[in-house]
Amino acid sequence: AQSVTQPDIHITVSEGASLELRCNYSYGATPYLFWYVQSPGQGLQLLLKYFSGDTLVQGIKGFEAEFKRSQSSFNLRKPSVHWSDAAEYFCAVGTGSTGNQFYFGTGTSLTVIP
Amino acid sequence: NAGVTQTPKFRVLKTGQSMTLLCAQDMNHEYMYWYRQDPGMGLRLIHYSVGEGTTAKGEVPDGYNVSRLKKQNFLLGLESAAPSQTSVYFCASSYETGGANQPQHFGDGTRLSIL
């Protein structure tokens, strides 16, 4: 069965510091991987996606993620965090088995301190 | 360009009452989804649709029904609301072409409380 694990429920970083959010997945075939961000009271917004090719993908707002097949991971990174990055971050796996279903992690809440 | 629009944004129900949540998308997407979001549990798929006139069960379908009479609309119904259905409900849509590498586009959510 497919699953997505985000081991960090909550992370606090200082503004200007680097950030890495972890995501591990379990899926038998080639995964389609996504990172979404959710600001308070809002829906989810796509940050970036990976489905083939270069394992380092660039997204919006200065985020990037690296796919590591050997570790079944798709970690999200940002070199320098801004206060506006405070939000909930979700990793997701897309499968084409039936109706293009998506499986989401439980999310990581990011707090940015001045 | 509205994208995915959910109505209502907030609602309070009493146990046993019924209601329908409406999702509308203007992107001509084939696939539509209903999720619920609960603290510490991420998003869980309730029902989804791969096209007009079709629906299918997701991970947590019990207590909910859906209909997709028009391509642009996906309705989620609660026939007899229960406190366990207190949650934030999100609708999403995506293209068919390209398969599951197509990201989902989300509405802003409906916050539903069942007393």
In the predicted structure, residue A35 carries a pLDDT above the cut 90? yes
B100: pLDDT strictly greater than 70: no
Dihedral angle, C-alpha B56, B60, B65, B67, nearest 10 °: -40
Q: What percent of chain B has pLDDT over 70?
A: 94
Average pLDDT over every residue of B9-26: 96
* pLDDT the model gives residue B106: 93
Q: Chains A, B: CB contacts under 8 A, how many?
A: 70
pLDDT of residue B41: 84
Predicted confidence band at B115 (pLDDT cuts at 50, 70, 90)? very high
Q: What part of A 65-94 touches B (C-beta under 8 Å)? A: 90, 94
Which regions of chain B does DSSP assign to beta strands (E)?
Answer: 4-7, 10-13, 19-25, 31-38, 42-49, 56-57, 65-67, 73-78, 87-94, 105-106, 110-114
User: Has residue B27 got a pLDDT over 80?
Assistant: yes
Residue B2 predicted with pLDDT over 90:
no
Residue in chain A lying closest to B42 (CA): A106
Chain B touched by A49 (CB under 8 Å)? yes
Name which of B105, B42, B38, B37 is nearest B74 in CA terms: B105
pLDDT band at A100 (very low <50, low <70, confident <90, very high): low
CB contact under 8 A, A102 and B104: yes
Considering only CB atoms, A43 lies closest to which of B45, B56, B108, namely B108
Q: Which residue bears the tokens 């088995």? A: A97
Q: Is A14 on the interface with B (CB under 8 A)?
A: no
Q: What percent of chain B has pLDDT over 90?
A: 77
Residue B1 in this model has a pLDDT that exceeds 90: no
Mutation target for A interface from B29, B104, B108, B111: give the one with most A CBs within 10 A. Answer: B104
**Between B31, B35, B40, which is nearest A99 by CB?**
B31
C-beta atoms of A45 and B50 within 8 A = no
pLDDT digits (tens, 9 = 90+) for A43-97: 899 999 998 888 899 999 999 999 999 999 999 999 999 999 999 999 998 876 5
Going by C-alpha positions, the residue among B24, B100, B7, B17 that lies closest to residue B69 is B24
The pLDDT of residue B28 is above 60: yes
Residues on chain B touching A101 (C-beta within 8 angstroms): 45, 48, 58, 100
The DSSP code sequence of A3-57 is EEE---SEEEEETTS-EEE--EEE-SSPPEEEEEEE-TTS-EEEEEEESSS-SEE
Mean pLDDT across B5-32: 95
